[in-house]
Structure 1
Amino acid sequence: MLELKNITFQVNDEGSDKEIIRDISLTIPDDKLVVITGPNGGGKSTLARLIAGIEKPTSGQILLDGEDITNLSITDRAKKGIGFAFQQPVRFKGIQVFDLIKLATGTNLSVGEACQFLSAVGLCARDYIDREVNSSLSGGELKRIEIATVLAKASRLSVFDEPEAGIDLWSFQNLIEVFQNMREQIHDSSILIISHQERILNIADEIVVLKDGKLEKQGSREEILPSLMGTASAVPECRKNFVAKEDAQEC
């Protein structure tokens, strides 16, 4: 279980302090898929980076299973079981997909075992296992390979920052299936997704709404989702996210 206690994050903007996250207290329970949503600029991605250890809070505590991890680095948090998937996956010239998945586990992973993780995210393993993680891969392919590395880590908490960003509709539909499968298989762990897409909100156990850096509401999908539907701030126009206009109404 992850606990945030009175987390505040400030940056210096032209000589004055600006609060991006404002005194947030939040619990991410085990065995749940939690989605953090809200208007653009509300602090969602910043909160994800604070949880992963990319940024450090100005004040407050972050606890994982009761242990204070506030001052731990992103590497140390990964060792504790926090996996993080960037909004824009990193490309690694000269590194093959197999090597990347093997590095994620920190073990002497076999090719067969790595292929299982690729298959789990809907990729034909034999077509990707020896591919280089470079510009030859599409955004959707990179997203799924990154998710495969998170799966391989067997993280206590898997954090995904706007996984739908920059991918086409077909890849997005496949990602939804991947997250649904992850949700069915989680045990003594949790999944946290930063998103404002309705289809991702629809598979959440709990929804957290951030606005202006503050926790506006938190509750079950059944409690929170009806109040979000139809609000432009919560669910942006699908045309901004997907190329296929004929599919826009389905988003």
Structure 2
Amino acid sequence: MYEEEAGKRTDMKKNIVKIGKMVYTSMCGCLSKRYRRRHMLTLENLSFGVQDEKSQKEIIRNLNLTIESNKFVVVTGPNGGGKSTLAKLIAGIEKPTGGRIQLDGVDITEKNITERAQSGISYAFQQPVRFKGIEVFDLLRLASGKQLTITDACQYLSEVGLCAKDYIKREVNDSLSGGELKRIEIATVLARGTKLSIFDEPEAGIDLWSFQNLIAVFERMRHNIKNGSILIISHQERILDIADEIVVIANGQISMQGPKDDILPHLLGTASAVDACTKFYNKEEA
């Protein structure tokens, strides 16, 4: 638990007083406020492995990570380092072989993907699913889990940069480009309004024009973030630059983690962030 104390420090014995949700420190009969910042997502000694023909291959190894509320966090690192596996473990698509996952202080390790969705976790795949015969409005309504008006649906589409009148009645099928489908999927995440929204390499399979639009969407999401957090798996510098915090994963473990301004300089100045991550990790291993 991270705590920040406001008020003059002293060596005198202090008494802790809790009034409602606020925590105070009593010193000499005076009360000074302390702010307690709760971690929304906590991963403790998380591990995941698969059995191959000869032995158990560890993909995630005793990984510890905390994500606070109202944060835009980007996870990056070399290909095969465990980034997408980590996202799937959090969402419940894969089950860890060790460790614990907590959401808002509640242990969700044994919950399946449906139960985690009900707890407030949404997951967007690298390649969104196409639903032949289902219109965009129906998809948004199903995602929201409530009675959704046309006005509400149009608002979600507008937030991801789509002209609502051109898309609200379209089928979610092969007539949509990869970029259009990605933005519609993000609109479904907005409609759900979850605590934790996970996007696994959202830039995959889209053209440059669609990528520019996607960046604008994520910038708006970062600006409007409230009562939740966003976790994105990505190699892209433009997405890394939006982040509050960056987590670098290599060989199933965290090699770097911290505020964007501290971490991003280590990842730039080379051919790609992937190469930089690899070089940094290999340097530590040496």
CA distance in 1, matches of 2:49, 2:273: 24
Cα deviation 1:182-234 (Å, max 9, x = unaligned): 11111121000000100000010000000011111100001100011134462
Q: Stretches of 4+ moved more than 3 A in 1? A: none
* 8 Å Cα contact 2:72/2:229 also seen in 1: yes
Match of 1:14 in 2: 53
Q: Residue type of the partner of 2:172?
A: V
% identical aligned pairs = 69
CA distance in 1, matches of 2:218, 2:154: 18
Give the 3-state SS of the residue equivalent to 2:48 in structure 1.
strand
Q: Residue type of the partner of 2:256?
A: K
Q: 1:113 aligns with which of 152, 158, 170?
A: 152
RMSD in angstroms over aligned alpha carbons? Answer: 1.0
Match of 1:249 in 2: none
Deviation at 1:53, TM superposition (A): 0.5
* 8 Å Cα contact 1:37/1:210 also seen in 2: yes
Cα deviation 1:138-186 (Å, max 9, x = unaligned): 0000000000000011110010000000001111111111111111111
Q: 2:231 aligns with which of 175, 187, 192?
A: 192
Match of 2:192 in 1: 153
Give the 3-state SS of the residue equivalent to 2:62 in structure 1.
strand
Higher strand content, 1 or 2: 2
CA distance in 2, matches of 1:217, 1:232: 19
Q: 2:177 aligns with which of 138, 162, 174?
A: 138
Cα deviation 1:38-89 (Å, max 9, x = unaligned): 0011000000000110001000000000000011111111111111110010
* 8 Å Cα contact 1:2/1:63 also seen in 2: yes
* 8 Å Cα contact 1:93/1:132 also seen in 2: yes
CA distance in 2, matches of 1:15, 1:132: 47
1:53 aligns with 2:89: no
Match of 1:37 in 2: 76
CA distance in 2, matches of 1:235, 1:214: 15
Match of 1:97 in 2: 136
CA distance in 2, matches of 1:15, 1:127: 54
CA distance in 1, matches of 2:198, 2:76: 13
Q: 2:63 aligns with which of 24, 36, 39?
A: 24
Q: TM-score, normalised by structure 1?
A: 0.92
Instruction: Find the structure with the greater CA-based Rg.
Output: 2
Match of 2:211 in 1: 172
1:229 aligns with 2:252: no
* 8 Å Cα contact 1:161/1:194 also seen in 2: yes
* 8 Å Cα contact 2:197/2:231 also seen in 1: yes
Segments of 5+ residues of structure 1 without an aligned counterpart are 237-251
CA distance in 2, matches of 1:171, 1:140: 5
Match of 1:247 in 2: none
CA distance in 2, matches of 1:232, 1:54: 33
1:124 aligns with 2:168: no
